[in-house]
Amino acid sequence: MKILVINGPNMDKLGKRDAAVYGEETLSEINNKVSALAKELGAAVDFYQSSSEGDIVSEIGNSDEKYDGAVINPAAYTHTSVAIRDAIEAVKIPFAEVHMSNIYSREDFRSKSMTAPVCRGQISGFGSDSYLLALRALVSLINKK
């Protein structure tokens, strides 16, 4: 089983940006935790991060040729990107949307996700554990097929 983990804009700045919201872990540290759990669950995982909407759309567009499922943190594109939403909808693998913060307890504009309706589920508010919870759920879903 192969899983893709996609991170959107500014996620490469974790550990440096707004620790009160995002904590002090870096994206590399989170990826290491995800890799360790994936190995424990018998899955392989690849990581992709971009601040470019078009690059993320292209990566999603190629994902169903290589992966059984994907975890995505679209970051700010969650609230604005019809293109990412449509890309997720077009591929035939399940996506789990994650957010480190509880997007529903923040600014009003963050309470609307363009991408969640085309994902199998959404996990938010648990810091880096949101990724681990999503990975567990995705692996379980794929194993049931």
Asked if residue 60 lies in contact with residue 52, where contact means CB atoms within 8 angstroms, the answer is no
- Taking the C-alpha atoms of residue 78 and residue 85, their distance in angstroms, rounded to an integer, is 8
pLDDT digits (tens, 9 = 90+) for 73-90: 999 999 899 999 999 999
Residue-wise burial string across 32-60, b where 16 or more C-beta atoms lie within 10 A, e elsewhere? eebbebbeebebebbbbbbbebeebbebb
pLDDT digits (tens, 9 = 90+) for 1-50: 999 999 999 898 887 776 666 667 899 999 999 999 999 999 999 999 99
Paired sense of beta strands 2-7 and 44-49, if any: parallel
Catalytic residue among 22, 67, 77, 131: 22
pTM of the model: 0.92
CATH number at 119 reads 3.40.50.9100
Start-to-end C-alpha separation, the chain: 12
Which residue range(s) make up the domain with 30? Answer: 2-144
Distances (CA, A) of 124 to 59, 85, 91, 121, 127: 23, 18, 23, 10, 8
Q: Confirm whether 99 is a catalytic residue.
A: yes
Domain count, the chain: 1
Q: How far is CA 103 from CA 8, 39, 65, 135, in A?
A: 15, 29, 31, 19
Read off the tokens for 77: 């594109």
Q: What phi and psi, each to the nearest 5 degrees, are found at residue 71?
A: -105, 130
Of 77, 99, 104, 131, catalytic: 99
